[in-house]
Amino acid sequence: MTPDPSHGFGTRAVHAGWAPDPQTGAVMPPIYMTSTYVQDAPGEPRQGYEYSRTQNPTRFALQDALANLEGGAAAFACGSGMAAIHTLLLTLQSGDLVVAGDDLYGGTGRLFRRIEQRFGLRFLYIDTSKPEELARIPADTRLLYLETPTNPLLKLTPLALAVAAAHKVGAEVVVDNTFATPALQNPIAYGCDYVIHSTTKYVSGHSDVVGGALIVRDAARKEDVWFHQNSAGTSNSPFDSFLTLRGLRTLHLRMERHCANARRLADFLEAHPKVERVIYPGLASHPQHALAREQMRDFGGMLCCEVQGGEAAARAVVARLELFALAESLGGVESLVELPVPMTHASVPPEIRRQLGINDGLIRLSVGVEDGNDLERDLSQALAGI
């Protein structure tokens, strides 16, 4: 069946992007592992397929599903989240101004500062969680780049205000929706022009594939993005697209468990005497808890904390954890833990980390779908050792 817009998110997650194959009845899309396609005559490709960098049925199935779930006109599956960001920036011109949130994934900041700037793009970093900062974005802003919630400090941007401020000066808005996923938040519904995902994370959900996606709000943006993706060769492979789509089919179920476990652990940590600070949008203590309740359907599976004793104690905690694997990345079914400063955000200059409050002892948890009581016991025994 092909889902229609009236169907719920879970139904669309299971069915969007592919109907049973009319020739074989295949319920799931085959992996079309071909580099090229036979043409009926020179310049007359059969059914529109020429070359797999440009068109591939497996990738198209994933793209159609992502566009459906995010409410966009089209989606583009890329080789990684960074490839998706780069693809969008390729559509800009030298001299264009990108206003970005100050708390970004370290790899995104590295791409902006050390690569994209070399080709003439200008960047201004602001605290997009503050409405007054959004209201002052420069008149020549070309693109407003947001993460909400941010990585790693889980700050939120008020999307309605951000879109209004950007569109007022003629700028477009892109949201990295990796932490929230389309199951919890749909930026396009607020008027955002683009959505970015590292599909490596929650969308695929099993820590076995790397990918990214760029979704566009309306058809007018589709051709420009497609031209740059095809020209730069940032598209995802058929096999990776297949794995990502397989994971996407259970996104709604996994996110329910991620969120439930994260809420439980956030409450546990906030009440623990050895924990100094917990950052989780689902806690009433989060300064933007009300905004999270307004624009998210649940609060996600990511949280951060700091323990008594600073960096040394944080290192001791992560070393003692058993179920939480010490590893970068996030969003898989298994629980992961990391220290952002020496790991995912090592490329962020130390002075910027200090300014943002990314302390050496900050612990970031990607809460998986294991039994919540087991995860709580693991944290309890790790904290007992400091």
Q: Is 125 a catalytic residue?
A: no
Catalytic residue among 53, 113, 257, 274: 53
Query: For the segment 312-344, what is each residue's pLDDT rounded down to a tens digit?
Result: 999 999 999 999 999 999 999 999 999 999 999
Which of 105, 125, 145, 202 is labelled catalytic?
105
Q: What is the pLDDT of residues 128-162, one digit of tens each?
A: 999 999 999 999 999 999 999 999 999 999 999 99
Which fold does the domain 252-384 belong to in CATH?
Aspartate Aminotransferase, domain 1 (3.90.1150)
Give the active site residue among 102, 103, 176, 193: 176
Domain residue extents for the chain: 9-248, 252-384
Contact 201, 219 (CB under 8 A): no
Out of 200-204, 264-268, 352-356, 364-368, pick the least confident.
Answer: 352-356
With bands split at pLDDT 50, 70 and 90, how would you rate the model's confidence at 194?
very high
51 assigned to active site: no
Q: Which residue, chain included where needed, has tokens 């794995």?
A: 243
- Considering the chain, what percentage of its residues have pLDDT values greater than 70? 99
Contact residues for 37 (Cβ-Cβ < 8 A; gap 6+): 45, 46, 49, 50, 51, 52, 55
The bridge status of strand 74-78 relative to strand 212-216 is antiparallel
pTM of the entire predicted model:
0.95
Which CATH class for the 9-248 domain?
alpha beta
Told to judge if 176 belongs to the known catalytic residues of this protein, a careful annotator would answer: yes
Minimal CA–CA distance to 40: which of 55, 30, 50?
50
Amino acid at 153: L
Show Cβ contacts of residue 184 under 8 Å, excluding neighbours closer than 6 positions: 255, 259, 296, 297, 298, 299, 300
Catalytic residue among 12, 59, 155, 201: 201
Is 254 annotated as catalytic? no
